[in-house]
Amino acid sequence: MNLRIVLSSLLTALLLTAFRADQPAPVQLLRLRCELLTNPEGIDATAPRLSWELSGPARGLEQTAYQVLVASTPEKLAADEGDLWNSGQVSSAQSVHVAYAGTPLRSRTLCYWKVRTWTTQGPSAWSAPARWSMGLLNYLDWKGRWIGFDRAFPGDDETTHARLSARYFRKEFKADKPIRQATAYIIGLGLYELYLNGQRVGEQVLAPGPTDYGQGVKYNAYDVTGLLKAGPNAVGVTLGNGRFYAMRQNYKPYKIKTFGYPKLLMQIEVTYADGTRDIVKTDDTWQGTADGPIRTNNEYDGEEYDATREMPGWATAGFDAKKWLPAELVQEPGGAYEAQMNENMKVMETLKPVSIKPLNGGKYILDMGQNLAGWLRLRVQGKAGDQVTLRFAETLQPSGELYVRNLRDARATDVYTLKGGARETWEPRFVYHGFRYVEISGWPAGPAPTLADFDGRVVYDDMATTGALTTSDATINQVYRNAYWGIRSNYKGMPIDCPQRNERQPWLGDRTTGAYGESFVFDNSRLYAKWLRDIEQAQKADGSIPDVAPAFWRYYGDNVTWPGTYLTVADMLYRQYGDQQVLARHYDSMRRWLVYMGQNYSENGLVTKDKYGDWCVPPESKELIHSKDPARNTDGALIASSTYYHLLDLMLGFAGVLGKTRDADEYTQQMAALKTAFNQKFLNRESCQYSNNTVTANLLPLSYGLVPPEAEAKVFQNIVDKVMVDNQGHISTGVIGTQWLMRGLTQHGRPDVALRLASNRDYPSWGYMAANGATTIWELWNGNTADPAMNSQNHVMLLGDLLIWQYENLAGIKSAPDAPGFQRLEMKPTPTAGLTSVQASYQSVRGLIKSSWKQEPKRFSWNLTVPGNTKAVVYIPAKDAEKVQEGGKKASAAPGVKFLRMEGDRAVFEVGSGNYAFVVK
Ligand code: RAM
């Protein structure tokens, strides 16, 4: 042993003795994740990125080095043998997105890993082990054939409101030796449920994630070792339509994409204890039927289930399948087979209804007390053939009946036919509804239904809630809650616009900045990374990007604002999650689109192509959907050109990150030329008004850095005047302007105006929605009075930058722009007259961040938490740094706190990880 090793083991021994009972815990490594997923199964990233969190005994914990071990068995890992990868001790502070760099990973490789770190507070022990497994990386890894039935069956109906019964497939097989391990790989289109020996595999619902199936499909992988047994086994799969057999058939085929009849490709790979392997795969020895209990399933229209047709035991060995048909070999859907690396949907919450009221005609109205997306589970007793019908809606008519006109032609109706006898429990499998109210009819004779007979099942992507925020303002809190429910309602394996009417499309423009705000509330990193892939797959060879992706509705029309979301979401993933890979992966496609737009739609130095304007501004009359008043609307050419400038700016940033200097020069030049042309065309140099002086017309150039410095103050004043004088403290922006409004007002020195907009309860405002019964966010500011043709009660696009403002500006939880992924926090809360406290927390990629402050007449107090291996620059409202205390001491002398400078009426300090309690008296 050389001296260094002796010394270091002595030191370790010393440290270990030092951390006994009365000592604080040593450095800990927590939340190990691979590609930001916990122990993912079947991934296809060949250099997967590993992340961990650190927590330490004292303030200011910093990682100085790490070592990662990846082993092919848990035993090897336990013996510290990284046969796949031993990174060695790497001097680095990086604890997020450390890319695997070991032996090339192949299909099916099981990877067990752990990490240890060296820090400013001593070394950590090895972390607890974590794992991931590789999926099927090659086309030829798929050994089976696609099976299905390429036709309709009696009882199906292929007119516009297509009805197709679910298709069931099964196969028996024998495992003749003890099993060591088994994995199932499945692509079940449109939607599948997988059973092994009668048991449901996994908790996912409505899987897999939707894609443009002609471009590519997602597979899921499950470790099914525990579900198989030596001897006879059976696998069963139910297929629903999903978006594959689209909800509308033979209807506007130029717009609505449909892909064919449900189909399945799967295999179960079994490794026996003796090391031999077997593979059970789809082929024409499988059996299938369309005669099961799910009689019809259609995402818009609902599901009908006839329990008298149940087939007990169909997914177990020994079932009598005489009446089943041989499965037919069908065409593959085309495109790539990719591992699904975003979370599937799950029942995320079960909610009790709040009231049930009888209506005429033996009907009842059930109120969930909350607008939600998912379905109803019911418990009912009656005779065979009794039929309970459930109709779903967001609101009621004054008569107490359902209001369904805003669902357009979505029938949103589930029907359950009882088998009779004992109490029956049922919930649908292949649909979801956006609803608060349910009309129940056909309830069997006997006792009337009660609340106990029903559960609301809240369904969305299985992602963690990462944020929590409350303030001293009840309206802000209520709107936050409505936003929370709106966002979870509209995550459906892709971000959709609404969950209730005959639409439910992933419109790009609805998420331009929304995705960023949402990222504080939910861990949406995987969903949006998947969505970028959807958008990439939707891009045409010439560069054109549609307004909806996956392009289930084909809206290729070219405009700047909706497709531009491709870039803003990539930017969000980089800033909020430190994901640099998305920039590298999508850079070329983003650039192709930007160049394509520039080449095809330039006019006098501007890029003017627009379609939606400032979508959904508050209209002049409360019945209207879209304003026709030129004074309320903003010139589309201004919106397009300023947005194009902003997108060039984003590209400039991406080029910088990726070291593409030549491109960067090109963007810089284009921006300079565009700025000149833009101000020439739209800016009135005297009044400092842009175009027709709407808030949006002035706000976009101001937010994007287009305004000449000497005009900035006046342009901003025009915005404030418009809000406070012309609109008496009310919002006048639509989907576009609202994306910058709250931050813009705050950053330019009028947080009071932002607060006014956020706490309003009269029209138009988010609070007005809440005051008028909204439990989510409406599509329209006048959602309670507008025409039902386009009036969803559960949209998120009008949130604009409200959530970003709440977290970054109110609570002060913000990633410094030059330190993405919260490497360094910029904590600058905004105490404003009328708001006395804010409490917020956010589970970032680096760990839990907290900020809560309170403004009392002569005292400002602020408690905050900075996660391990992270720093924060904190901006404390104080005219004099000497007045700032931390933990009862003068702040500048407190441990881990460093005074940096005064900045206006803020004392600026730097702190490391830990908990802090600042007070200014
Ligand atoms: C409607 C919805 C949707 C929006 C498009 C342009 O279908 O309001 O959210 O993005 O129009």
Whether 287 is covered by a domain: the verdict is: yes
pTM for this predicted structure:
0.96
Residue 907 resides in a domain: yes
Residue 424 is predicted with a pLDDT of 98
Q: Which is the closest atom of ligand 1 to the Cα of 779?
A: 8
Indicate whether 64 pLDDT > 50: yes
Question: Which of 256, 565, 615, 793 best tests ligand 1's pocket when mutated (most atoms within 8 Å of CB)?
Answer: 615
Residues 274-320 pLDDT 10s: 999 999 999 999 999 999 999 999 999 999 999 999 999 999 999 99
- What's the whole-number mean pLDDT along residues 33-48? 98
C-alpha of residue 407 to centroid of ligand 1, in Å: 14
In 633-728 the beta strands, taken as DSSP E runs, fall at 683-684, 689-690
CB environment 584-604: b (16+ within 10 A), e (fewer): ebbbebbbbbbebbeeebbee
Q: With contact defined as beta carbons under 8 Å apart, do 857 and 901 qualify?
A: no
**250 and 180 belong to one structural domain:** yes
Q: What is the pLDDT of residues 568-594, one digit of tens each?
A: 999 999 999 999 999 999 999 999 999
Q: What percent of the chain has pLDDT over 90?
A: 97
Q: Which atom of ligand 1 is nearest to the CA of 612?
A: 6
Ligand 1: residue of 496, 501, 504, 510 to mutate (most ligand atoms within 8 A of CB) is 510
> Residue 96 maps to which CATH number?
2.60.40.10
Residue 616 Cα: closest atom of ligand 1: 8
pLDDT at 22: 52
CA 890 – CA 899 distance, rounded (Å): 11
Quick check: is 73 in a domain? yes
- CATH number of the domain to which 336 belongs: 2.60.120.260
User: pLDDT tens, 631-649?
Assistant: 999 999 999 999 999 999 9
Domain termination site, one of 133, 153, 185: 133
Average pLDDT, the chain: 96
Within a domain: residue 3? no
CATH number for position 677? 1.50.10.10
Question: How far is it, in rounded angstroms, from Cα 87 to Cα 89?
Answer: 6
Q: How far is the CA of 95 from the centre of ligand 1 (A)?
A: 40
Mean pLDDT of 379-401: 98
Of all protein residues, the one whose alpha carbon is nearest to atom 1 of ligand 1 is: 790
> Among residues 327, 342, 357, which one ends one of the domains?
342
Average pLDDT over residues 659-664: 98
Domain-located, residue 526:
yes
Q: What separation in Å is there between the alpha carbon of 687 and the centre of ligand 1?
A: 34
Ligand 1 midpoint to CA 762 (Å) = 24
Q: What pLDDT is recorded for position 5? A: 41
Amino acid at 291: D
Please tell me the predicted confidence (pLDDT) of residue 334: 85
The first and second tokens of residue 475, run together, are 């309206």
pLDDT tens profile 527-539: 999 999 999 999 9
Q: Quote the pLDDT of residue 736.
A: 98
To which residue do tokens 């008519």 refer? 397
Residues 6+ apart with CB under 8 A from 666: none
- pLDDT for res 454: 98
Same domain assignment for residues 451 and 478: no
Q: Which atom of ligand 1 sits closest to the CA of residue 509?
A: 10
507 Cα: distance to centroid of ligand 1 (angstroms): 7
The H or E element containing residue 594 is helix 581-600
Centre of ligand 1 to C-alpha 27, Å, is 49
498 Cα nearest atom in ligand 1: 9
Question: Same structural domain for residues 756 and 832?
Answer: no
To test ligand 1's pocket by mutation, which of 507, 555, 735 has the most ligand atoms within 8 angstroms of CB?
Answer: 507
What is the distance between the alpha carbons of residues 632 and 694, in angstroms, rounded to a whole number? 7
Residue nearest to atom 5 of ligand 1 (CA): 507
Do residue 504 and residue 575 come from a single domain?
yes
Q: Which amino acid, residue 366?
A: L
Considering 322, 342, 362, which residue would you say is the last residue of a domain? 342
Q: How far apart are CA 31 and CA 570, in angstroms?
A: 24
Distance from residue 479's CA to the centre of ligand 1 (Å) = 21
Residue 634: how many other CB atoms lie within 10 Å: 28
The letter for the amino acid at 72 is S
What pLDDT was estimated at residue 289? 98
Nearest to 753, CA basis, from 781, 777, 730: 730
Task: Report pLDDT for 23.
Answer: 58
Question: Does residue 562 share a domain with residue 666?
Answer: yes
Are 734 and 850 found together in one domain? no
Centroid of ligand 1 to alpha carbon of 26 (angstroms): 52
What percent of the chain is predicted at pLDDT more than 70? 97
Return the residue whose CA atom lies nearest to atom 9 of ligand 1: 497
- Please report the pLDDT score of residue 11 as a whole number: 44
Closest CA to 803 of 741, 850, 861, 750: 741
Domain shared by 456 and 475, yes or no: no
Q: Whose CA is nearest to atom 6 of ligand 1?
A: 612
Average pLDDT over residues 79-103: 98
Give the least confident one: 9-23, 256-270, 616-630. Answer: 9-23
pLDDT of residue 21: 46
Do both 522 and 573 map to the same domain?
A: yes
**Picking from 20-34, 44-58, 113-127, 487-501, which range would have the lowest pLDDT averaged per residue?**
20-34
| Cα of 743 from ligand 1 centre, angstroms | 24
Going from the C-alpha of 22 to that of each of 12, 248, 314, 593, the distances in angstroms are: 18, 67, 60, 61
pLDDT of residue 9: 45
pLDDT above 80: residue 83? yes
- For 290, 536, 648, 649, 659, the CA distances from 664, given in Å and listed in that order, are 57, 22, 9, 9, 9
Token readout for 203 is 């908790």
Query: What does the alpha-carbon distance between residue 554 and residue 545 come to, in Å, rounded to a whole number?
Result: 10
Show the ligand 1 pocket: residues with CB < 6 angstroms: 497, 503, 507, 509-510, 612, 615, 779, 795, 797
Tell me whether residue 225 is in a domain.
Answer: yes
Q: What is the pLDDT of residues 843-888, one digit of tens each?
A: 999 999 999 999 999 999 999 999 999 999 999 999 999 999 999 9
| For residue 4, pLDDT beyond 50 | no
Asked if 331 and 193 sit in the same domain, the reply is yes
pLDDT tops 90 at residue 889: yes
Residue 19 has pLDDT above 60, yes or no: no
Structural domains of the chain, count: 5
Residue 486 maps to a domain: yes
Distance 508 CA to ligand 1 centre (A): 9
| Structure tokens, 170 | 């099964």
* Over residues 749-765, mean pLDDT: 98
Task: Using the mean position of ligand 1's atoms as its centre, give its distance from the Cα of residue 324 in Å.
Answer: 44
Q: Which atom belonging to ligand 1 lies closest to the Cα atom of 562?
A: 10
Ligand 1 centre to CA of 219 (Å) is: 30
Together in a domain, 778 and 696: yes
pLDDT at 1 over 50: no
Please give the C-alpha separations between residue 486 and each of 88, 428, 430, 556, in angstroms, as whole numbers. Answer: 46, 22, 21, 27
Side-by-side strand order, sheet with 871-877: 824-827, 871-877, 906-911, 897-903
Q: Which of 490, 496, 497, 547 is the pocket-test mutation for ligand 1 (most atoms within 8 Å of CB)?
A: 497
Residue among 487, 490, 496, 505 to mutate when testing ligand 1 (max atoms within 8 A of CB)? 505
**Range 258-279 average pLDDT:** 97
Q: What is the pLDDT of residues 465-497, one digit of tens each?
A: 999 999 999 999 999 999 999 999 999 999 999
Q: Which two tokens stand for residue 359?
A: 């209506």
CB atoms within 10 A of CB 818: 8
Which residue's alpha carbon is at the smallest distance from atom 2 of ligand 1?
A: 497
Domain match, 372 and 509 both: no
Which atom of ligand 1 sits closest to the CA of residue 497? 9
Whether 5 is in a domain gets the answer no
Question: Nearest to residue 327, comparing CAs of 365, 382, 301, 290?
Answer: 290
pLDDT for 669 equals: 98
Residue identified by tokens 């808030």 is 695
Closest C-alpha residue for ligand 1 atom 11: 507
How close is the Cα of 760 to the center of ligand 1, in Å?
Answer: 25
Range of the domain at 768: 467-811
